[in-house]
Amino acid sequence: MSAPITIQSFETLIVDLPTIRPHKLAMHTMHGQTLVILRIRCSDGIVGIGEATTIGGLAYAGESPESIKINIDTWFAPLLIGQDATNLNAAMQRVDRGIRGNTFARSGVETALLDAQGKRLGLPVAEVLGGRVRDGVEVAWTLASGDTGRDIDEAEQMLDRRRHRHFKLKIGAGDVARDIAHVAAIKKALGERASVRVDINQAWSEAVAISASRRLAEAGVELIEQPLSRFDRAGMARLNAHSPIPLMADEAIESVPDSFALAQLGVAPIFALKIAKTGGPRAVLRTAAIAEAAGIGLYGGTMLEGSVGTLASAHAFATLDKLEWHTELFGPLLLTEDILVEAPLYRDFQLMIPTTPGLGLELDEQRLARFARR
């Protein structure tokens, strides 16, 4: 009888990468992106790669790059070293019993274990998760310069290059009338060639959102993402009943149980799926199953991960029966540098999903060393 294959060691790196431009959200403006890259080494020589990434330090969520690294090194690693590397259910159940919350760190760990298992079996992660039903996922682009003319020019370039035909605008931090005029001008310029969505990042009150939703509908906007505080479930449900365009829940989904409660209350007809928010690629599929059972549409969200986290998300989203609202897996395109030997492939408005074992990627060790925080 052969010896069991066990988890031997963890290595976590904080990696700071530059972005092509500032990225403006309601709660924070990003001038770069910080990733936590994880490597899990197993006794059969296989190394699984994962990523845990958040936005703006602690501006978005309760985990920061620094806390993710410390908690993986201090708590996750001791729990899992010596455990069976081939049994993901047992490994993640052990994490569930020993660690509360920390879904971003948990996602990085689950991703690395899936990558290792795929390499071990000679299968892409999508196939480990049950099998892909699509070879690529369509990707929206966020126009976040805040300048109307510049955003229109950027959208036109994306359409010409066949890179994106769905555009999301980050509004909510400024004057409401000015924000809506900005969105309306962009939609008018793009016409029927592209869809336009808005993300409020929880910045509006219910009263503001009631009026604004009507004006955005008149402008041709197709959805409003998280207009109210993630804690205001009753307000979201009331707004959802009256809004002429659909709402999408994003920050309100902090866990798989959250998604069940939101579905019960009818807060939104669309859910944004994020592996970091639910605890990994397998975990995000549980939220997707809840949404599908409740007749809620699905959108593949991002925490602006780099290439590792983006491809992990894509493998999970490739297995979904329906992905009506597509994805926003553009994180790597926001970065001026990649840490992979071959960057993810974007073509014909889609991110193509690798067909090689595991996540289908190889780290560029020189670039990783160059950008890793000392």
Task: Encode pLDDT of 64-113 as tens digits.
Answer: 999 999 999 999 999 999 999 999 999 999 999 999 999 999 999 999 99
In the set 69, 170, 274, 277, the catalytic residue is 170
Token pair recorded at residue 248? 């999408």
Handedness of CA 362, 131, 260, 198 (dihedral sign): positive
* pLDDT (mean) for 13-20: 94
Look at residue 190 and tell me whether its pLDDT is greater than 60: yes
Pairing of strands 7-24, 47-53: unpaired
pTM: 0.95
pLDDT in tens, 237-261: 999 999 999 999 999 999 999 999 9
Categorize the per-residue pLDDT at 23 as very low, low, confident or very high, splitting at 50, 70 and 90: low
List, in sequence order, every residue forming a beta bridge with 33; answer none if it has no partner: 17
d(CA 115, CA 94): 19
Question: 128-352 architecture in CATH?
Answer: Alpha-Beta Barrel (3.20)
In angstroms, rounded to a whole number, what is the distance separating the alpha carbons of residues 114 and 120? 10
- In this predicted structure, the answer to whether residue 1 has a pLDDT above a threshold of 90 is no
Shortest CA distance to 293 belongs to which of 256, 263, 332, 336?
A: 263
List of residues 6+ apart from 191 with CB closer than 8 A:
none
Buried residues in 212-248 as b, exposed as e (16+ CB within 10 A): bbebbeebbbebbbbbbbbebbebbbbbbeebebbbb
Which band of pLDDT confidence, cut at 50, 70 and 90, is reported for residue 352? very high
Q: What is the pLDDT of residue 22?
A: 65
Residue type, 140: A
CA 75, distance to chain mean position in Å, is 24
Q: Do domains 7-122+365-371 and 128-352 have the same CATH topology?
A: no
324: annotated active-site residue: no
Span 250-279, mean pLDDT?
A: 96
pLDDT at 3: 85
pLDDT tens digits for 145-185?
Answer: 889 999 999 999 999 999 999 999 999 988 999 999 999 99
Q: Rounded to 5, what percent of the chain is helix, strand, coil?
A: 40, 20, 35
Q: What is the pLDDT of residues 281-300, one digit of tens each?
A: 999 999 999 999 999 999 99
- pLDDT tops 70 at residue 25: no
Catalytic residue among 63, 225, 251, 328: 328
| Cα–Cα dist 102/238, whole Å | 31
The CA distances from residue 172 to 31, 183, 334, in Å, are 19, 11, 21
Q: How sure is the predictor about 217, in pLDDT bands with cuts at 50, 70 and 90?
A: very high
pLDDT of residue 79: 98
Angle separating helix axes 103-121 and 88-98, nearest 10 degrees = 170
- Is 30's pLDDT higher than 90? no
Q: Residue 300: phi, psi to the nearest 5?
A: -85, 100
Domain residue extents for the chain: 7-122+365-371, 128-352
Q: What 3-state class would DSSP assign to 96?
A: helix
Distance CA 325, CA 272 (A): 9
pLDDT-based confidence at residue 57 (cuts at 50, 70, 90): confident
Tell me the fold of 7-122+365-371: Enolase-like; domain 1 (3.30.390)
Q: Has 170 been annotated as catalytic? A: yes
The dihedral formed by the CA atoms of 107, 103, 367 and 78, expressed in degrees to the nearest 10: -80
